[in-house]
Every structure is written in C-alpha cells, then in structure tokens.
Amino acid sequence: LLPILVHTFLYRARTPTSLPSFLLVGPSGSGKTSLLTVFENGSPAPTHLSQTPSTVQVQLPPSTKADSQKYRSEHDPTAKQRPKFLIIDTPGHGKLRNHAFEQLRKPQPHLKGIIFVVDSASLSSDTPGRSAAGLTEAAQYLHDILLLLQKRYTGAKSSKGPPELPVLIAANKLDLFTALPAQLVKSALEAEITRIRTTRAKGLLDSAVKDETLEEEREWLGDGGEGKFEFGQMEEVNVPIKVVGGNVIGADGSDISGWWEWIGEQL
C-alpha cells in the first residue's frame, strides 16, 4: 500500500489538478512542441514527435498581467504574484487526435481555454481554386474541435449552458516571408471551414435519406450551417475566438507576446 500512496502523493505533487489549464492543439508540424518549451523555459529546445499528451506547469511572465490582477493596487502583495497554470499538449498527428477530443469530452472545471496552433506559412496554395493541403488539414481539425464545443453547449442540461470556453488561434511562424498575416489566416480558415461544412452537410443529408436514425446527428457548425461561416458565430455557443499572430522560432528570436496577453486575459 505504501508505494501506492507515495506514488499517488508524488503524482499529485507534480500535477496540481486545481490550477487553471489550457489545452494545446493543432496539426502536427504547426509548432506546439516548440511553443511548449518556450512557455516552460523561455527558449525553444529540439522537439520530438509527441505520442501522448504531456502537461507542463507554466508561470505568467512579469510583463503580462492576469485579468484578475489588473485592478489590484501596487501595494497589494498578491498583485506581484505571477499566476501559474498548466498547458496540456496533445499529439497533432491525425490518428492520435482522439487524445484532444477525449480531453474536451470530459468535464473540465479548470479548463480556461484552447490554444490552436497553426503554421501560417502552410496555408496558401500555388494552384488557383485549390486549397493548400495545410489549410485543409488545419481547417478540418479546427472544424471538428469547434463542432465538439458547440455540441457541449447544445447538449448541456442546464438552461444556462456550459461556461465560456475561449479559443486562441495562434497564427505561428510569422517570421517566414511565406506566412499569411493573422487577419488572412482568419479569413482563409473561415472560408475553408465554410467549404468543409457544406460538404459534410451534403454527406449527412444523403445518409439521412437512407437511415432515419442519423437524423439526430444532423448538427453542423454555426448559425444553422447556411452561408458563410465566421468565427464570430461561435459566440452564440459561448466560444469566443481570437486569431493572434506570433512566432516561436525566428532570426530575431521568438515573439509570443500576443499569446501571453491572451492567456493573461483568461486568468
């Protein structure tokens, strides 16, 4: 029994479950592992392919203020405390994405937000009229996560619905000259999600004709699924979305100040 108790104690000590947490998601190669090491140590380290979720404890830098501390006086000793939080990394590889979906299906009282990392240099296509593979992959993953968050709201038992769950789309690799600026990352993802939604709605309609039981499953993303999808539509299901640019690696070092700021706003 003793070893079990010691193990439990050590495990608890290492991963304090009451800290606010953020889920880190995104396609593989977008920069999640690099970002995690910058969050943790302040500089990127060589990355390895992650197969399972890993959690690290992070502290807000002195330059970023948490929302909860903004109005505290300089003399309040708690105003100088840098809030701690957890970042839960998930594998971005297609077959391993279940880890991320699992995390979102469980009730998460301490989850403060989701950080979706995208490689902004992988989104523009060389062929007119055809989406870049990187854009399609990122948009599909994002679509599935947003649909899950929407279902969390529409399937909620209480009339108030679940608490707000903000999403940061971290438009990464802005140091590369082929990268789209954050505003274009936003419109490219919205347009691609619109396309995915239309395709899937058609697929569902076709199968619903054959199988009445699929009727219940007919839920699509945002505003009844017609017309153009915009991130703003997710506010109706308590999911505010922001797209903020940055870079984890680069000739002039990393610039992730916009992401720190967003994290501070959620704490």
Alpha helices in the chain (DSSP H): 2-14, 32-41, 98-105, 133-154, 182-210, 257-266
Binding site for ligand GDP (CB under 6 A): 26, 28-34, 47, 92, 172-173, 175-176, 247-250
Q: Please identify, using beta-carbon distances, which residue of 204 and 249 lies nearer to ligand GDP.
A: 249
CA 92 to chain centre: 11
Q: Please identify, using beta-carbon distances, which residue of 95 and 160 lies nearer to ligand GDP.
A: 95
Q: Please identify, using beta-carbon distances, which residue of 243 and 267 lies nearer to ligand GDP.
A: 243
Q: Which whole-number Å values give the CA distances from 243 to 7, 21, 184, in the listed order?
A: 41, 19, 10
The answer to whether 167 touches 240, Cβ cutoff 8 Å, is: yes
CB of 174 to ligand GDP, least distance (A): 7
Paired residues of 57 in beta bridges: 86
Structure tokens at 126: 């060389």
Q: Please identify, using beta-carbon distances, which residue of 221 and 256 lies nearer to ligand GDP.
A: 256
Count of C-beta atoms within a 10 Å radius of residue 171: 30
Q: Please identify, using beta-carbon distances, which residue of 47 and 57 lies nearer to ligand GDP.
A: 47
CA-wise closest residue to 197 among 174, 171, 219: 219
CB of 179 to ligand GDP, least distance (A): 8
CB of 173 to ligand GDP, least distance (A): 4
- Tell me the pairing of strands 21-25 and 111-119: parallel
CA 8 to chain centre: 29
CB of 264 to ligand GDP, least distance (A): 21
CB of 148 to ligand GDP, least distance (A): 20
Cα–Cα distance measured from residue 102 to residue 89, given in angstroms and rounded to the nearest whole number: 13
CB of 139 to ligand GDP, least distance (A): 16
Q: Please identify, using beta-carbon distances, which residue of 30 and 150 lies nearer to ligand GDP.
A: 30
